[in-house]
Amino acid sequence: MRDMAQIRNIVILSGAGISAESGLRTFRADDGLWDDHRVEDVATPEAFRRDPDLVQRFYDERRANIMAAQPNAAHHALARLDREWPAELLIVTQNIDDLHERAGAGRVLHMHGEGLSAWCSACDARHHWTGTLRDKPPCPACGARALRPDIVWFGEMPYRMDEIFAALSRADLFVSIGTSGAVYPAAGFVEQAKSCGARTLELNLERSQGSHWFDETRLGPASERVPEWVEDALGGRPC
Ligand code: BJW
């Protein structure tokens, strides 16, 4: 345990588990997204080249689900922490939904892209996107029919890694929420933060693959564990 008075800079990593209670499916659960689709068929650049229609349909459906979902108590608690925490705080999310932002959080970084964004591979423009892409709409900037989901697939470089590593190197506390620890580089953040001296805390339904790296694990649904932890953090209680 560490007294919160010793903690200034916080980095939070969120994964699909934080949005599960908002009705968005995780990836690796028995009824998860990878249960219906093979990763190689929908989440790689090769898959997109091979069968763009299948990939666009997969993400068109995900986009519609994101828009229908609402933030849950865990997103709201982190938004409160973001508003009230006086020092550095960064919510690095692997999620492509916008539930952190819709709960009111501002310091959010989407390392795997955003479901409500389309990227033109012809002119490199990005557009807020709420419709479908399978019908190959023209890019509003250049007119090319080259829009793809603005998502980081396997084999692609996650966004803003320099900022993430810089924040991890300054972190006094690293908190991982609702992620299985199966996908790199995110799965390695705990080790990185720990090697730079941060205390490490995991909030998850079950132990993640890298659970041994954490100083403490609190098991349970994010809608309960996250608000409890935020109360502790803002109340100055050890965590
Ligand atoms: C609850 C809950 C509740 C449920 N409350 N909790 C090193 C070793 C081996 C391989 C590699 C390596 N480094 C890189 C690789 C290759 C690859 C990789 O990691 N492969 C693995 C399969 C091993 N990585 C990449 O290719 C990445 N790029 C890259 O590495 O570039 C080079 C590079 C090198 C060095 C530095 C920097 C860069 C890109 C990865 C892209 C991942 N993309 C996806 C899909 C796109 C987004 C989308 O469609 O949404 O991102 S894959 C998918 O997995 C998605 C997720 O963001 C990601 C993580 O999943 P997450 O969030 O953990 O979900 P689940 O389902 O796995 O877990 C949910 C958890 O929640 C569970 O633990 C539940 O218990 C819990 N839970 N309900 C609390 N109510």
* Nearest-CA residue for atom 29 of ligand 1: 157
What is the C-alpha to C-alpha distance for residues 1 and 170, in angstroms, rounded to an integer? 19
165 pLDDT tier (thresholds 50, 70, 90): very high
| Average pLDDT score over residue span 3-30 | 93
Backbone torsions φ then ψ of 173, nearest 5 degrees: -140, 130
| Average pLDDT score over residue span 64-80 | 98
37 pLDDT tier (thresholds 50, 70, 90): confident
What is the C-alpha to C-alpha distance for residues 73 and 51, in angstroms, rounded to an integer? 38
What is the C-alpha to C-alpha distance for residues 43 and 33, in angstroms, rounded to an integer? 11
Give me ligand 1 centre to Cα 97, in Å.
Answer: 15
Residue 140 has pLDDT above 70, yes or no: yes
Residue 45 has pLDDT above 80, yes or no: yes
The answer to pTM > 0.75 is yes
What is the C-alpha to C-alpha distance for residues 142 and 119, in angstroms, rounded to an integer? 12
Residue 1 has pLDDT above 90, yes or no: no
Residue showing tokens 């994964």: 15
Cα–Cα separations (whole angstroms), residue 144 to 70, 119, 126, 140, 148: 33, 11, 13, 8, 11
Task: Give the pLDDT of residue 181.
Answer: 97
Contacts of 108 (CB under 8 A, 6+ apart): 91, 93, 100, 101
Task: Give the pLDDT of residue 106.
Answer: 98
Half-sphere exposure of 125 (CA within 13 A, CB side): 14
Contacts of 49 (CB under 8 A, 6+ apart): none
| Average pLDDT score over residue span 149-171 | 98
Are 154 and 62 in contact by the 8 Å Cβ rule? The answer is no
Task: Give the pLDDT of residue 85.
Answer: 97
2 pLDDT tier (thresholds 50, 70, 90): low
User: Running DSSP on this structure, what letter comes out for residue 122?
Assistant: T
* Helix-, strand-, coil-residue percentages of the chain, each rounded to 5: 40, 20, 45
Are 182 and 153 in contact by the 8 Å Cβ rule? The answer is no
- Least trusted range by pLDDT, from 20-24, 33-37, 92-96, 154-158: 33-37
Token pair, residue 171, equals 């972190």
Q: Which of 37, 100, 112, 127 is catalytic?
A: 112
22 or 3: which carries more pLDDT confidence?
22
* Nearest-CA residue for atom 25 of ligand 1: 154
What is the C-alpha to C-alpha distance for residues 24 and 188, in angstroms, rounded to an integer? 24
Q: What percentage of the chain exceeds 70 in pLDDT?
A: 98
Task: Give the pLDDT of residue 79.
Answer: 98
Nearest to 113 by CA among 63, 74, 162: 63
Q: Which of 14, 26, 57 to mutate to test the pocket of ligand 1 (most atoms within 8 A of CB)?
A: 26
180 pLDDT tier (thresholds 50, 70, 90): very high
Task: Give the pLDDT of residue 234.
Answer: 95
What is the C-alpha to C-alpha distance for residues 32 and 88, in angstroms, rounded to an integer? 34
Pairing of strands 113-120, 147-151: antiparallel
What is the C-alpha to C-alpha distance for residues 86 and 8, in angstroms, rounded to an integer? 8
Average pLDDT, the chain: 96
Residue 76 a catalytic site member = no
Q: Which atom of ligand 1 is nearest to the CA of 39?
A: 52
